[in-house]
Amino acid sequence: MKELDPLLHSQLRLAVMSILMSVEEADFVYLREKTESTAGNLSVQLDRLSAAGYITVEKGFAGKRTRTLCRITPLGRAAFESYVDALRQYLPL
């Protein structure tokens, strides 16, 4: 049985990656609302995905307010696909 990438095998990180797989870019607020997570938890998990090179996190502005934009990287995309593939061993998908 293949092992499940522990970085992706976490509800919140998986949700974030899942969203970023389908959306090209998403900001912090959008991700927080869509995943119904707390800001603290989301911040930590984005850091870990970013540290692994699975996403990029770009801080900028939208008008006067700060805005944190996230995007999945090719590495992250590949990791996600391979995670899904590994999961198939465990599930009737």
**Size of the residue set binding DNA (CB under 7 A):** 27
User: Across the chain, how many H-helices and E-strands are there?
Assistant: 4, 3
The percent of the chain in helix, strand and coil, each rounded to the nearest 5, is 50, 20, 30
Contact window for a copy of itself (CB under 8 A) among 30-38, 44-52, 60-68, 71-79: 30-38
Q: Which is nearer to DNA, 10 or 73 (CB)?
A: 10
Which among a copy of itself, DNA, none contacts residue 21 (Cβ within 5 to 8 A by kind)? a copy of itself
Token pair listed for 91: 């599930």
Q: Which is nearer to a copy of itself, 66 or 89 (CB)?
A: 89
**Closest to 31 (Cα-Cα) out of 52, 14, 16:** 16
Strand partners, 72: 55
Which residue ranges make up the site for DNA (CB under 7 A)? 6, 9-13, 27-29, 37-46, 48, 59, 63-68
